[in-house]
Amino acid sequence: MSDAPTGPGPTTTTPATPASPEGGPRLRIAPSPTGDPHVGTAYMALFNRAYARQQGGSFVLRVEDTDRARFDPTSEQQLYDTLGWLGLTWDEGPDVGGPHAPYRQSERLDTYRPYVEKLLADGNAYHCWCSPQRLAEMRERQQKLKQPTGYDRTCLGKTREERAQEPGFQETPVVRMRIPDDAPTSFEDLIRGTVSAPRPDDQVILKTDGFPTYHLAVVVDDHEMGITHVVRGEEWISSTPKHVLLHRWLGLTPPVFAHMPLLRDTDRSKISKRRNPAARLTWFREEGYLPEAVVNFLALLAYPPAKNAEGEDVEQFTFDEFVERFDWRLVNTVGPVFDMKKLDWLNGQWIRDLELKDLTARLLPVLVKDGILTDNPTLGQLGRLQDVAALIQTRIARLTEASALVAPFYDADDALVVDEEARAKLSPDAPAVLDAAIAALEPLQEPPSFDEPGPQHFVAAAIEAALRAAIVDGMGIKPKLAFGPLRVAVSGQRISPPLFESMEILGKHSTLARLRRLRATYEGSPAEG
């Protein structure tokens, strides 16, 4: 559920962080399962969890599923899966339980009713029987007259019987807040200081289906679950005066509010799942990003980089390092732009820092998904993958970029697809180069299983030496152009992992078979062998 955009920004300095209660602060995220999880959910989870961990507090996941029209039963599991993949785990929630269960609002309906009854009894809320059609006509009229939009209090002070005599009546009422004329519109924000928001209207707090709206449920649940800090997006600034009022009317102590800047697209608009696939949290895993990099990136969107001993920015850091230096006063309130180039760069840095075995393990599901390997690869295939991973580790920014580079190492020699465009761009001397390469490599021997290989064995150093002698020195071809035909023959592509190391991994038999196969596509006598 979304409120209107915020009003004016902060007007004073940021208040100091309040002292934590015994047991540390309690923070939460409360996503709605209405589709693919939004990247903003992870963004909020990161900052909530970081502060909770730093202060020795608790981090709670609550599912706000009162919007039954948009409820998606698969969305909740996606929340668990994606946040768990990012390492943004929680101490209490629907799946792990906790002392304040249940953690789904749909299972807490009996909890809200007494609060509604108190608001009605105290005159701070009233029943409204206006039909959706009547409300739509009201809003249309207000807009035409350029009046502020909001409920016109047609039902205020009327009984059901009285209201039933008027047009636009529906049998089952909602319950609305009765906003006083002197309702406070300013509040203290942990990040922004004193914040002013627009005057609220008579917000619906209980719907016709008996489910509370966000505004009532969030206040009641935060109180019942002992939440001390409410950290959420700035789109909720306009709703905060309503929540402050509800706390006051119900005799509850309000939490500390902190409103984070919204994630923004390159056009400065709020990042949306309809316009940007990166707004879907599941997209990052699908596209081959590392969870460490995504968390790192999300932190940088609203928080400055670390500094090294020389005072230089250090943009790559772990979640634990982020927690150690976290300070609400450093949160940037300017809406951060979602820079995919920055994310790709950062992901590449994280890939380069992985241990080789770790990189291999992370590549495996991607390669299985792309059909390059089966679910149960052999030990030989896994061993080859680790060798290949070492070649491509510095050449990929996403795990998904590995598939095109890895595939040729698992293709049968007679099934390797040679890119026709790549072949067409080879120089006219390609057949002669292939002939020279075959002749140079044939004398090399397969390396021994246990002893150190020598200059006569089929290993990268010896392969390079033999090919340079035959093609660069022997044919006088510049090194930049000498090996293009060999690269296309071995990988099927113009761009590939390092050539000589690739040949070593493929072995002498496969390498020569691929060279001869490409050579056979040209007129003239191919090299014998």
Rounded CA separation 438/124 (Å): 89
The three state secondary structure string of 46-76 is HHHHHHHHHCCCEEEECECCCCCCCCCCCHH
Rounded CA separation 6/13 (Å): 19
Rounded CA separation 498/518 (Å): 19
Instruction: State the DSSP H helix or E strand holding residue 28, giving kind and residue range, or none if neither.
Output: strand 26-29
Rounded CA separation 347/399 (Å): 9
Active site (annotated) includes residue 273: yes
Asked whether 106 and 66 are in contact (CB, 8 A), the reply is: yes
- CA-nearest of 503, 498, 292 to 392 is 498
Asked whether 155 and 127 are in contact (CB, 8 A), the reply is: yes
First to last CA, the chain: 72
The three state secondary structure string of 77-134 is HHHHHHHHHCCCCCCEECCCECCCCCCEHHHCHHHHHHHHHHHHHCCCEEEEEECHHH
Asked whether 280 and 352 are in contact (CB, 8 A), the reply is: no
Structure tokens at 135: 């409300």
Catalytic residue among 158, 207, 273, 342: 273
Ramachandran area for residue 97 (φ above 0: left; ψ -120 to 50: alpha; else beta): left
Place of tokens 């109180």: 223
CB-CB neighbours of 341 under 10 Å: 8
- CA-nearest of 413, 416, 380, 392 to 501 is 392
Cα dist. 490→387, 408, 419 in Å? 16, 8, 11
Asked whether 128 and 159 are in contact (CB, 8 A), the reply is: no
C-alpha count within 13 angstroms, C-beta hemisphere, residue 453? 16
- CA-nearest of 439, 442, 378, 437 to 410 is 378
Asked whether 264 and 233 are in contact (CB, 8 A), the reply is: no
Coil, helix or strand at residue 217: helix
Coil, helix or strand at residue 396: coil
Q: Which residues are catalytic?
A: 273
